[in-house]
Amino acid sequence: MVAAKAAALLDAFDSSFNVRKHHLELIREAFVNEGIRALETDSDEIPAMIPSYVNSLPTGNEKGTFISLDLGGTNCRVAAVQLLGDGKVEVLEVKSAVSGDFRLGKVESLFNWMAELVIELVTVKGRHLFSPSEVDGSETIYLGVTWSFPVNQTDINRGKILRMGKGFSLVNADGRDLVELFHEAFERKGMNARVSAIINDTVGTLVAHAYQNPLARIGVIIATGTNAAYIEKVDNIVKLPKNYRSKHAHESMVINSEIDIFGSPAYLPVTEYDVQLMAGSAQPNFQHYEKMMSGMYMGELTRLVITDFVDKGALFGGVHPGGFDVPYSFQTAFMSAIERDFTAGHSDSINLLTDNYEFLNKPTERDVEIIHHIVKTISTRSAHLAAATTSSLIQKQDLHRDDSTEPIVIGINGSVYEHYPFYEERLMAGFELIYPQNVCSRIKVELARDGGTVGAALVAMLCSSKNK
């Protein structure tokens, strides 16, 4: 009886979560069109298709030591990135958690603190990597900055801070020029340093991967959230100022797509569980696509499905485990542990469940098999959706065209892609639903380095050599 109930529920679950070829093609076309619109309109809403002002990629042969500074929600990381040529890098970093005082205080205090981290790197921890004149300040050092907060960028080294979010609420920060704030702090600290570029981590992912594989044309992040960068013709970036476009006509630029905000329930194959997740999220009706597939949400979707199965008597004997009602308590990493469990009797998965929730009766092997099926289906959907949206960036660059034999190289960064078992295979299976074999065989999906450090240092290098 219970078995029949579970089988019927699983069938219904499968048919709502399996995305088919026509869905993926619809999504690809819709994302292409949304992308074109976003390149044309300079909207006051949260922008997509953001110009990076990065208009060259590394060749892999560049050498030298460059500095990056990456301020994220939790940490500030300052790194000396040694470009060794032949796509090889070595990174030495100073990392420090951003304290509450810096999140809420005067903007100058935060920038003084970041300047001190640069001093620590150049004069102490990484001293051996810099020339005596760089260490004593008689020679200028150049930094690339990865800024993981909204910024209204108007050039590679110019951009005004918009509201910061992620727990930051600084006095006098909004509207200030990011690079000037750094330069003022360097001056206060008596440093001879300049910020030569500001980038976003997705742009960094593409640039960093291009150093490793110069054929890379797309960088994707599949982590807490998702995002992607690609290369666009300046002529097509209609929203750039006219004089910039005419000066750089026929050139290319890396675009931060902010693909996370693309997508509408009008064509996305949303299930009742997606609707439920959206209704309970902090920003309902925002990021429909990202909420179906990224690391922050897959575990929660799983929790909602399991809860429904328990409600209907198809799991855990119909008894809700203690603590299972806590939103976001079921992590995406649990899903990947369950898929990686090849122990006899699924003992690892059973232990994972009983370690995290309170059970009246221990979960059965059958319970785990059902849950395994659920997580496999949810993560497969994520990978297939990622293939569809990435293919929109392949289309925009016409990389799939029939007369080309070039590899289509995609660098991907993020814990979901890196650590979720079979994610890469499922991503490729998604491409196989979309493209014929001759195109799929050219698609090379590769693990990309962290764009926040290596990418920013590379862009600093590309820009400072131009400025010199």
Residues that bind ligand ADP (CB under 6 A): 223-224, 295-296, 331-333, 336, 414-416, 419-420
- DSSP secondary structure string for all residues of 389-438: HHHHHHHHHTTT-TT----EEEEEESHHHHHSTTHHHHHHHHHHHHS-HH
Residue type, 379: S
Number of residues that bind Mg ion (CB under 5 A): 1
DSSP-assigned states of every residue in 298-319 = HHHHHHHHHHHHHHTTSSGGG-
Pairing of strands 63-71, 141-147: parallel
Query: Which residue lies nearer to ligand ADP by CB, 146 or 196?
Result: 146
Nearer to ligand ADP, 198 or 416 (CB): 416
Per partner kind, with CB cut-offs from 5 to 8 A, the member of ligand ADP, Mg ion, none near residue 416 is ligand ADP
Cα–Cα separations (whole angstroms), residue 291 to 98, 261, 269, 288: 27, 10, 12, 5
Which one of Mg ion, ligand ADP, none is in contact with 334 (Cβ closer than 5 to 8 A by kind)?
Answer: none
Main-chain phi, psi angles of 41, to 5 degrees: -110, 130
Q: 258 by DSSP, 3-state: which?
A: coil
- Report the nearest approach of ligand ADP to the CB of residue 461 (Å): 23
Chain mean position to CA 123: 32
148 vs 276 by CB, closer to ligand ADP = 148
Shortest spacing between CB 331 and ligand ADP, in angstroms: 5
Site for Mg ion in 214-233 (CB under 5 A): 223
Q: Which does 56 bind (CB under 5 to 8 A by kind): ligand ADP, Mg ion, none?
A: none
Please choose which of ligand ADP, Mg ion, none residue 453 contacts, taking the beta carbon within 5 to 8 angstroms, the exact cut-off set by kind: none
Residue nearest to Mg ion (CB): 223
Please give the angle made by the CA atoms of 204, 206 and 210, to the nearest 5 degrees. Answer: 115
Which entry of ligand ADP, Mg ion, none binds 257, CB below 5 to 8 A by partner kind? none
In the complex with ligand ADP, which residue's Cβ is closer, 269 or 414? Answer: 414
**Smaller CB separation from ligand ADP, 68 or 332:** 332
**Residue 316 binding partner per list Mg ion, ligand ADP, none, with a CB distance cut-off of 5 to 8 Å that depends on partner kind:** none
Question: Which of 96, 95, 64 has its CA nearest to residue 81?
Answer: 64
Q: What is the rounded distance in angstroms from the CA atom of residue 20 to the CA atom of residue 460? A: 43
Alpha carbons 269 and 447: distance in angstroms, whole number: 28
Nearer to ligand ADP, 192 or 415 (CB): 415
* 67/145 Cα distance (integer angstroms): 9
Residue 336 binding: pick among ligand ADP, Mg ion, none (C-beta 5-8 Å cut-off by kind): ligand ADP
Bridge partners, residue 253, by sequence: 232
Give the nearest distance from C-beta 369 to ligand ADP in angstroms: 20
How remote is the C-alpha of 37 from its chain's centroid?
22
Nearer to ligand ADP, 75 or 172 (CB): 75
Report, in Å, the least distance between residue 414 CB and ligand ADP.
Answer: 4
Give the footprint of Mg ion on this chain (CB under 5 A). 223
